[in-house]
Amino acid sequence: MFNKLVMIDVFKNLLSKAKKSYDEFNTADGKIGDGDLGITILNGLEEINNNIDKFKDDLSINFMLCSQAFVKKSGSSFGTLVAFAFMNISKDLKGKNTCDHEDIINIINIAMETIQERGKTKLGDKTILDSLSFILNNLKANKNNVNYSELFKSSTKEALDAFKGKKILIGRARMFEEKTKELDDPGMLALSKLSEVFK
């Protein structure tokens, strides 16, 4: 069950993972973009952790804090999309202190809708949207005794594998055409690495 304490734990772990993967994320982004994905993720997570003692039982408040952290610290696409997603999740969770499986499905759904709307992305463009859709499908397929840690890890990995050999169709990467076939989308890669911390 997801609640304030789990959320605090997750974001602490995410931060330490982001520190370790800082160079890897920047480098992956640098191959096809401006090389700031590590900065974006680290800055956002640091700012969340700076505010983690403001976390309340009401998860809505916490997601709003997370959104504000990314708004404040990031000006890159990834950070902006995450900020918008957290904001919409926050709105949806108003008054909620815990999340069950259905709520988690709902959260992923909201994130995906936000990214589609704001990022003007479609499924199949080889972005974080596709990683989320693998998570969503697996969440829907497994309702009992879910090991979320394993599910996130394997879903984001599956997504990476599924898109090997496909072109990235959005963002800065788009212009590299063939070259992007061999490369992982940096955002999808980051989600996969970061998923390793889920409990």
Interface residues with ligand ADP (CB under 6 A) are 29, 33-34, 36-37, 40, 76-79, 81, 115, 119, 121, 127-129, 170-172, 185-188
Q: Which of other proteins, Mg ion, ligand ADP, none binds 30 (CB below 5-8 Å, type-dependent)?
A: other proteins
Tell whether residue 33 is a contact of other proteins (CB under 8 A).
yes
Tell whether residue 175 is a contact of other proteins (CB under 8 A).
yes
Per-residue three-class SS string for the chain: CEEHHHHHHHHHHHHHHHHHHHHHHHHHHHHHCCCCHHHHHHHHHHHHHHCHHHCCCCHHHHHHHHHHHHHHHCCCHHHHHHHHHHHHHHHHCCCCCEECHHHHHHHHHHHHHHHHHHHCCCCCCCCHHHHHHHHHHHHHHCCCCCCHHHHHHHHHHHHHHHCCCCCCCCHHHHHHCCHHHHCCCHHHHHHHHHHCCCC
Select 14 or 171, whichever has its Cβ closest to other proteins. Answer: 171
Tell whether residue 118 is a contact of other proteins (CB under 8 A).
yes
Question: Which one among 4, 101, 174, 181 touches other proteins, defined by CB under 8 A?
Answer: 174
Tell whether residue 122 is a contact of other proteins (CB under 8 A).
no
Select 13 or 35, whichever has its Cβ closest to other proteins. Answer: 35
Tell whether residue 130 is a contact of other proteins (CB under 8 A).
no
Question: Which one among 11, 55, 63, 84 touches other proteins, defined by CB under 8 A?
Answer: 84
Hey, what are 67's tokens? 């959104």
Residues at the interface with Mg ion (CB under 5 A)? 29, 33-34, 36-37, 76
